[in-house]
């Protein structure tokens, strides 16, 4: 559940933290940033663990005509 939605529903940091599986300190920090109008920074794309082998897999699929 979204931290902000949980806080609005419950009304306490600890209650929202219990619903979201985090700490009350994290909930407080998120709510304070939200109320101040601060937007979260854009997320950086993470490298995938299969990026290094995509070409090999594509070659094997092509050579086996889709049979793996």
Q: Which two tokens stand for residue 34?
A: 């939200």
Alpha-carbon span 16 to 14, nearest angstrom? 5
Which pLDDT tens digit goes with each residue over 4-49?
A: 999 999 999 999 999 999 999 999 999 999 999 877 778 898 888 9
Alpha-carbon span 15 to 9, nearest angstrom? 9
Position of tokens 């005509």? 65
Question: Please, which pLDDT band fits residue 68 given cuts at 50, 70 and 90?
Answer: low
Q: Looking at residue 3, what is its pLDDT?
A: 94
CB 26 within 8 A of CB 3: yes
Element (H, E) at 22: none
Mean pLDDT for 56-65 is: 89
CB 14 within 8 A of CB 24: yes
């Amino acid at each position: 559940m979204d931290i902000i939605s949980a806080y609005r529903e419950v009304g306490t940091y600890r209650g929202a933290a219990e619903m979201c599986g985090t700490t009350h300190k994290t909930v407080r920090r998120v709510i304070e940033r939200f109320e101040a109008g601060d937007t979260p920074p854009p997320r950086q794309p993470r490298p995938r663990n299969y990026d290094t082998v995509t070409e090999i897999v594509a070659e094997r699929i092509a050579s086996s005509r889709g049979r793996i």
